[in-house]
Structure 1
Amino acid sequence: MSIEVTYCNQSDKKYLPVKKMIDSVRNIANQKLKNVGGSINLVVCDDTFIHALNKQYLAHDYPTDVITFVLDEKPLDAEIYISYETAAEQAKDYKVSLTQEMCRLAVHGALHIAGHDDDSDEKRQAMHKLENHYLNLAGFTNV
């Protein structure tokens, strides 16, 4: 069984690292969700859009970088929303390329779909190591 990864651009940005993002998500899906089947929709949006999602579904009244929803588990139906604006700010703060930050957020979302959490310091550190592993596989060496 395989997982289809689709992409939707809800932002006004045209030149996004779509292939690298999809490949990064697909890599995690093929390794960690290979017996599930289904689809993951990767959505790039702006801060206004992700703020509305964050407020409506998570009761957080602010924009965020990435939100993941698992709508169904078998077959998998999941969505990863990434704010382009927040990713651009974080790329500057972390001194990495926008491509790397967008891929990191896609990987982060895919890891949540695969069952990883970051709700404690220990889990956050473990997830960060996994993010770095998958970013290295995607060709990023400065993680």
Structure 2
Amino acid sequence: MTEPSRPTIHINPLDGWAGSAPSDAAVEAAARAALATGPAEGAELSIAFVSAESIRALNRDYHGADGVTDVLAFGLGADPWLGDVYVCPEVADASAREMGLDPAEEILRLVIHGVLHLLGHDHPDGEARYGSPMFRLQERLLAEVRGRA
């Protein structure tokens, strides 16, 4: 019997980001925790940390929304590529500070969130999103990752 192949994760750091950021090992652990919830054997995943300007352009060009956001996920549907997750540390940092959270932890939360979207999870818009099954799973996975740190 052949052992299933682990997903490959490519992490692209944001050059010049001076804010609080998790280690690449923590980012990979967060991504792997989310990947373990779905069919991801042998998949490849790219996680890129981008500037506010870059994520705004991606949001505008691919979603028609001209504004910054914290995370975007694009499923590629091409075997073995699962997709790309783009995280904006600048937006994550501002949101975390506004809510009294650790900015590095918020970035891990967004990595998990993006990967869960690639695996087919979704949530409603607005305040209802925070009680959705996807958000509950996201927070459980984040707690597991934090517990291993």
Do they fold alike, i.e. is TM over 0.5?
yes
Contact 1:5 1:40 in 2 (8 A): yes
Aligned to 1:4: 8
**Separation of aligned partners in 2, 1:45 and 1:68:** 13
Which blocks of at least 5 consecutive residues in structure 1 are unaligned? Answer: none
| Matched letter for residue 26 of structure 1 | R
Aligned to 1:20: 26
> What SS does the corresponding residue of 1:31 show, helix, strand or coil?
coil
Which blocks of at least 5 consecutive residues in structure 2 are unaligned? Answer: none
Q: RMSD value over aligned CA atoms?
A: 2.0
**Separation of aligned partners in 2, 1:34 and 1:42:** 15
Aligned to 1:128: 135
**Separation of aligned partners in 2, 1:131 and 1:25:** 11
1:86 is aligned to 2:68: no
More strand per residue: 1
Contact 1:69 1:80 in 2 (8 A): yes
Map 1:39-118 onto structure 2 (within 5 A). 39-118=44-123
Runs of 4+ with >4 A deviation: none
After TM superposition, give the deviation of residue 12 of structure 1 in Å.
1.7
User: Is the radius of gyration larger for structure 1 or structure 2?
Assistant: 2
Match for 1:119 among 118, 124, 127?
124
**Separation of aligned partners in 1, 2:82 and 2:69:** 22
> What SS does the corresponding residue of 2:75 show, helix, strand or coil?
strand
Indicate how the Cα distance of structure 1 residues 122 and 101 shifts in structure 2: closer, same or farther if over 3 A, else same. closer
Indicate how the Cα distance of structure 1 residues 119 and 76 shifts in structure 2: closer, same or farther if over 3 A, else same. farther
Aligned to 2:144: 137
The alignment's TM-score, normalised by the length of structure 1, stands at: 0.87
After TM superposition, give the deviation of residue 77 of structure 1 in Å.
3.3
Percent identity, aligned pairs only, is: 23
After TM superposition, give the deviation of residue 30 of structure 1 in Å.
2.8
